[in-house]
């Protein structure tokens, strides 16, 4: 029998979420940092030093945060699977009834549900229970290293965009030009990620640019306040 392999957007959800989050944070945090420091009327060198430090610290923070977070999810999944293996080895009949009940709730007649559950458990008992009872699938399972690398790499890419823009500008022009270009980069990121995930593009762009603009406005205000105070 030929097996038809379809490509689904959910296959991308693990790395896509981490990559989009990393790039978005890279643009927003670095642009905000550069704008805030520039608004305090400091030197161009100080602005660039702050931006580079923000890029490095942010990338490491994103990698560590993603790794710890997704590792916790993986630990929970592994604990559930270990418990399920014990239950399958000690009380297979109850596990068969549980799987049968799941299929009945999904619309199968009880006799057919029993037969399906038996065949699936004979083929791959832990696979059937992890997928249908626990909701753990290969596509959605936690991958800590993949998430950490994708997040850190995309944070660095995102952070490099406003940083490179600021490099070619004078101190006076940085707040305005970096704000405009950062919003453009955010809109582009929102559109690309929404398209890749099959989500509404306009809604994604509006959402990401609104919060980006709010973050940059807040840091610009703080920078200006401290600049005046100094």
133-161 pLDDT, tens digit each: 666 666 555 678 887 888 889 899 999 99
Structural contact between residues 154 and 185, judged by C-beta atoms closer than 8 angstroms: no
pLDDT of residue 149: 85
User: pLDDT tens across 46-59, in order?
Assistant: 999 999 999 999 99
Question: What is the percentage of the chain residues whose pLDDT exceeds 70?
Answer: 85
pTM for the full model?
A: 0.69
Q: Where are the domains of the chain?
A: 12-229
CA–CA gap between residue 156 and residue 23 (Å, rounded) = 7
Phi and psi (nearest 5°) for 6?
-100, 150
pLDDT of residue 168: 93
Mean pLDDT in the chain? Answer: 81
The per-residue pLDDT for 41 is: 83
**Interacting residues of 30 by C-beta distance below 8 A, sequence separation 6+:** 51, 54, 55, 58, 158, 159, 162, 163
Confidence of residue 2 (pLDDT cuts 50, 70, 90): very low
The residue whose two tokens read 């807040």 is 218
pLDDT cut 90: percent of the chain above it? 27
Supply the pLDDT for residue 210.
92
Q: What average pLDDT score do residues 21-39 get?
A: 90
DSSP labels, the chain: --------GGGGHHHHHHHHHHHHHHHHHHHHHHHHHHHTT--HHHHHHHHHHHHHHHHHHHHHHHHHHHHHHHHHHHHHHHHHHHHHHH-HHHHHHHHHHHHHHTT--HHHHHHHHHHHHHHHHHHHHHHHTS---TTTS--HHHHHHHHHHHHHHHHHHHHHHHHTS-TTTHHHHHHHHHHHHHHHHHHHHHHHHT--HHHHHHHHHHHHHHHHHHHHHHHHHHHHH-
Q: What is the pLDDT of residues 64-77, one digit of tens each?
A: 988 888 888 778 87
Per-residue confidence (pLDDT) for residue 183, from 0 to 100: 93
> What mean pLDDT is predicted for residues 94-98?
80
Highest mean pLDDT among 3-7, 140-144, 171-175: 171-175
pLDDT at 174 (0 to 100):
92
Confidence of residue 13 (pLDDT cuts 50, 70, 90): low
């Amino acid at each position: 029998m030929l097996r038809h392999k379809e490509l689904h957007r959910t296959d991308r959800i693990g790395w896509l979420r981490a990559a989009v989050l990393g790039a978005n944070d890279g643009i927003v945090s670095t642009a905000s940092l550069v704008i805030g420091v520039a608004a305090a009327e400091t030197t161009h060198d100080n602005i660039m030093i702050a931006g580079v430090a923000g890029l490095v610290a942010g990338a490491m923070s994103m990698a560590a945060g993603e790794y710890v977070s997704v590792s916790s999810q993986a630990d929970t999944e592994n604990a559930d699977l270990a418990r399920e293996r014990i239950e399958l080895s000690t009380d297979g009949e109850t596990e068969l009834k549980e799987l049968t009940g799941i299929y009945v709730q999904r619309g199968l007649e009880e006799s057919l549900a029993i037969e399906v559950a038996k065949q699936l458990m004979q083929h791959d008992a832990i696979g059937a229970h992890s997928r249908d009872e626990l909701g753990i699938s290969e596509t959605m399972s936690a991958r800590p290293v993949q998430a950490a690398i994708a997040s850190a790499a995309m944070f660095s890419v995102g952070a490099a965009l406003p940083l490179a823009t600021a490099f070619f500008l004078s101190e006076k022009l940085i707040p305005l030009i970096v704000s405009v270009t950062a919003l453009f980069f955010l809109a582009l990121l929102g559109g690309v990620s929404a398209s890749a995930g099959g989500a509404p593009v306009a809604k994604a762009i509006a959402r990401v640019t609104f919060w980006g603009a709010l973050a940059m406005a807040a840091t610009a205000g703080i920078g200006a306040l401290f600049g005046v105070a100094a």
